[in-house]
Every structure is written in structure tokens, then in C-alpha cells.
Structure 1
């Protein structure tokens, strides 16, 4: 019983200490109420990660487009193939038939 009483007195003294109270209030403020609290930091980290993934994706896409552009400007046969496939261009005496698979029509 004596041990419990001294322990309770120590806890009460700890909570009545002005430095402990100040530090506790400051810590609670920084963790929960500040503009840069824990939840905000977590949200910022997840947004940063998402933006990094988007940056990597667009960097790869840009490199692919540059490579395709380089191939199209140097090789006439690839340019003709690209124009026929993407823009359905044709020569004067040709007919072009576009075949669309049924799976794409259903979508």
C-alpha cells in the first residue's frame, strides 16, 4: 500500500511539473493541431510518391515519343506505315478497309 501511495505522489508531481506540462502541451500541439501535423505529413508523403510515379511514367513516355519521332523522321517506310495505321492515309489508287474486332465494338 505504501508503494502505491508513493508511486501516485510521483505521478502527481510529474504532472504538476511546469516543464513536463509545457513539453506535453507543445508535443500535443505539434502532433495534432499544427499546420504540419502527422496526418498532413502522411498526406504529403503519399502525394509525393504518387507524383514521383507520374513523373517517371511521363519521362518514359517522352523518351518513347522522341524515339518514335526520330525513327519517323529518318526512315520513309516507317513514316508511311505510321501514316497508314494511325491516320488511315492511302495512295490515290488504293482502297482502305478498317477491320475492327468484335471485342472492341462491345466496349
Structure 2
């Protein structure tokens, strides 16, 4: 598994972004290798913690059209993307990652 943290500042109120955020959520669900997203919001600061099946899927998302749309959005600024490999075994113990399959 591989995680991305994507954050940005928005000049649009969160309530006004709700419908667009729901459409964005549906589009993210269709991304190959996507596992889950935790949505982040405090004041004008927004973002998400994304989990992907592997680094290649995360990097394809980072370099793909959805993140490009965030970068190009006139109301969004200070977009930052950071990525990390995850510890699947410990994540499974705390419920953050599905337990690895055993043979």
C-alpha cells in the first residue's frame, strides 16, 4: 500500500464546494488502485489522505487528470502532494489498512 497526503487552500466556502466534492468523490472511487480517502477540512484548508494499492497507482493518480484539475482550479492555491509507503501489518492492527491475505 502507498499513501498520499494532498492539501490545498480554497477561496470557496466548504458548503459551496459540497456538490462538486461529491462528484469528485465518485471520480476518485473509479481510479485504478484506489483504496480509501479520509477528507480533511479546517477553515480554508482542505485535502485528503489517500490510500492506494501500490506506489504506481498513487503516482498515476498524482500525475493524472483529477489532481491536474485541482492544480488548475482558480479557487485553489498552495496545493501540496506528499507520498509515503505504508506499514501494512501495523495498519491492519489499527484498522487503517485491510489485513493482508494469508495463504
Q: Would you say same fold, with TM above 0.5?
A: no
TM-score normalized with structure 2 length: 0.22
Larger Rg: 1
- Which structure shows the bigger proportion of residues in helix conformation? 1
Query: TM-score normalized by structure 1?
Result: 0.22
Higher relative contact order (CA 8 A, sep 6+): 2
